[in-house]
Structure 1
Amino acid sequence: MQLLRDILDKQVVDREQVKIGKVDGLVAELRRGKPPKVVAIELGSISLARRLGVVPGRWTARLAARLSGKRQARPHRIGWNKVRDIGVDIEFDIDVRRTRIFSWQDWLREHVVGRIPGA
């Protein structure tokens, strides 16, 4: 399996087939004398911006922290041990309703969309 080709930018779904987003980054553990081990995937605009370079990643993290608090200044991570299946989509053994993955959308709905007349 070639991780960058087979995992990056694939759709992620939870155990109920709810679409969470796409894989924007991979987190690997470096081990002395052994190949790196994938420990998590990252989702979100911060991880996506990091693919463009360090500076865009920092700007995006600062913007997220300013708009929705320091807790949102990090990409969302899902442990690799939660992978259930890799096919067309990457299926994880999690319930998205018990995570904070959609907190940015909730914030946007409450502070922006909800204030638009007729919304």
Structure 2
Amino acid sequence: MDLIRDVLDNQLVDRNGRKMGKVDGIVVELREGESPRLAYIETGLPTLARRLHPRIARWVIALERRWGAKRGESYRIPWSKVRDVGIDVDVDLDAEATPALAYEQWLRQAIARIPGGR
């Protein structure tokens, strides 16, 4: 499997078929005397911004914290939770029970506060 081609930037789908963002990063564990091990996939704007430049990532994290949309952290999914990699990356998680949908939930609350937003 080519991780960059087959996993990075692909759609994440939970066990119920709900989209939960894109794979924004791949975390590989380096162990002395052993081959590298794929540990996690990450989703979240800070990870995506870090791919562009570390300074942009710091800026994004500061804005997230100020606006209260998220804690300023990306969500890591253990590779053991990945069920299938194809067009989408299917994971054995419930999207609603993870912080992966924090932006969507924050946006729902923000719109509900607008008069006529319900």
Partner of residue 86, structure 1: 85
Aligned partner of residue 26 in structure 2, secondary structure: strand
Q: How does 1:18-37 map to 2 (within 5 A)?
A: 18-37=18-37
The runs of 5 or more residues in structure 2 that have no matched partner are none
Instruction: Give distance in 2, aligned partners of 1:116 and 1:73.
Output: 25
RMSD (CA atoms)? 1.6
Partner of residue 105, structure 2: 106
Partner of residue 47, structure 1: 47
Aligned partner of residue 101 in structure 1, secondary structure: helix
Aligned length in residues: 117
TM-score (norm 1): 0.89
Sequence identity percentage? 45
CA offset at residue 33 of structure 1?
A: 2.5
Q: Which amino acid aligns with 1:87?
A: G
1:117 equivalent to 2:115? Answer: yes
TM-score (norm 2): 0.89
CA offset at residue 115 of structure 1?
A: 3.3
Partner of residue 38, structure 1: 38
